[in-house]
Structure formats: C-alpha cells, structure tokens
C-alpha cells in the first residue's frame, strides 16, 4: 500500500469513452450530484528547451485553460514515464489573469502551441470522486473520473475506477490512458498510432 498525502499535488484520474450516452446520463442523474456545466477550452504547448512529444507516450503536458470565468496554467507529469498505461501524475496549477497575455509571453519565449481541446463538460460528485461527462470536439463523448479525497492510495483508487467501469459496463468503453491532447495529436497523425 502506497499512501500519499493529497497536498503533494498528486492527481489520479481515469478516462473512458462513452458508448451509450443516454444510459450514462440516467446513471449520473440517479447516483451523482451535479456540480457544474460549462465549456472548457484547453490549449497545450511544448517548451523550446524540452520537447514533450519526442517520446512515443508523452508523459508531460503544459496547458492553459479557459473556463469562461476562470483562467489557469497547468503542468502535469505522468508516471510511469513513457509507458502506454499511467497510474497518476504530479499536477501543478494556478489561476492567471489573461490567457492571451500568457500566450504572447509563451510565443516570445519560443513555446509552440500543439493542440486545442474544446469540450462541453458536466461535473458530478459521488463521495470522494468527481465525474466529468465531456463532449470533446472532434473526439466524442468521455467520462473522466478524478479522485478528490485527502489520502491517496494509488493502487486502491485505480481499483475503484474499475468498479465504476464495471457498474457502467454497457455505457463505457475501455479505459483510455492517454488523455485528450494525445488523442487529438494522434488523430491528426502527429503521433504514432497505438495498436
């Protein structure tokens, strides 16, 4: 058992493609509490001194997020590195005043924009989990489950994700370990396809 304190900026989440939208909506409305509904635009960048995309399975991402009323900058480092399946990540995030100004700073410093993820997101809560039902432009529908508790046991939490998949077996497809920017880059043939 590997227990980590939540204040160490660790994120554990699972993402599943949605196969039956109506069944998932029924389940969420029955068992979960709706938190919010909004459009989210994520812009991903690579640094001029560290190319995150040089690996077959990129494990670092730098993101600017526009939620309409809130703007953030976020860096994630996934583990294990450069493997198809990951279990958790370091996540560092803070609010910013202007995405446009930070984009200009990034451009001046040589950062390159590599992907935009435009999604409509409905957030729900069940116990210590936040469930995000996403309609991602160009990719389709997904359910993202993120652990929001205080103490983290990586192995136990990943088993909990499997239980959600089991309860929603006809609504959800296989777990997707790569994330939206990877899927968009892969779709645009900017990364090797996973077999």
Catalytic-labelled residue, pool 31, 44, 75, 182: 44
How far apart are alpha carbons 195 and 193 in whole angstroms?
6
Residue ranges of E strands in the chain: 3-5, 10-11, 13-18, 33-46, 60-66, 71-79, 88-96, 112-126, 129-136, 140-147, 151-153, 172-176
User: Collapsing DSSP states into helix, strand and coil, what is residue 165?
Assistant: helix
Query: Is 44 assigned a catalytic role?
Result: yes
CA-based nearest residue to 62, from 8, 129, 110: 110
| Cα–Cα separations (whole angstroms), residue 175 to 16, 129, 166 | 5, 16, 11
Q: Which positions are annotated as active-site residues?
A: 44
């Amino acid at each position: 058992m590997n227990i980590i304190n939540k204040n160490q900026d660790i994120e554990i989440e699972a993402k599943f493609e949605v196969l039956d939208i109506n069944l998932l909506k029924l389940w969420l409305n029955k068992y979960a509490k709706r938190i919010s509904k909004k459009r989210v635009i994520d812009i991903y960048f690579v640094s001029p001194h560290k190319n995150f995309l040089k690996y077959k399975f990129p494990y670092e991402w730098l993101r600017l997020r526009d939620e309409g009323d809130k703007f953030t900058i976020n860096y994630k480092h996934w583990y294990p590195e450069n493997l198809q399946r990951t279990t958790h990540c370091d996540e560092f995030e803070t609010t910013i005043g202007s995405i446009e100004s930070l984009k200009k700073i990034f451009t001046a410093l040589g950062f390159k924009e590599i992907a935009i993820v435009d999604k409509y997101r409905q957030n729900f809560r069940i116990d210590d989990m936040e469930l995000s039902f996403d309609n991602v432009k160009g990719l389709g529908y997904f359910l993202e489950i993120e652990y929001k508790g205080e103490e983290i046991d990586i192995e136990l939490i990943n088993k909990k994700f499997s239980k959600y998949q089991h309860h929603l077996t006809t609504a959800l497809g296989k777990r997707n370990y790569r994330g939206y920017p990877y899927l968009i880059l892969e779709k645009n043939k900017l990364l090797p396809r996973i077999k």
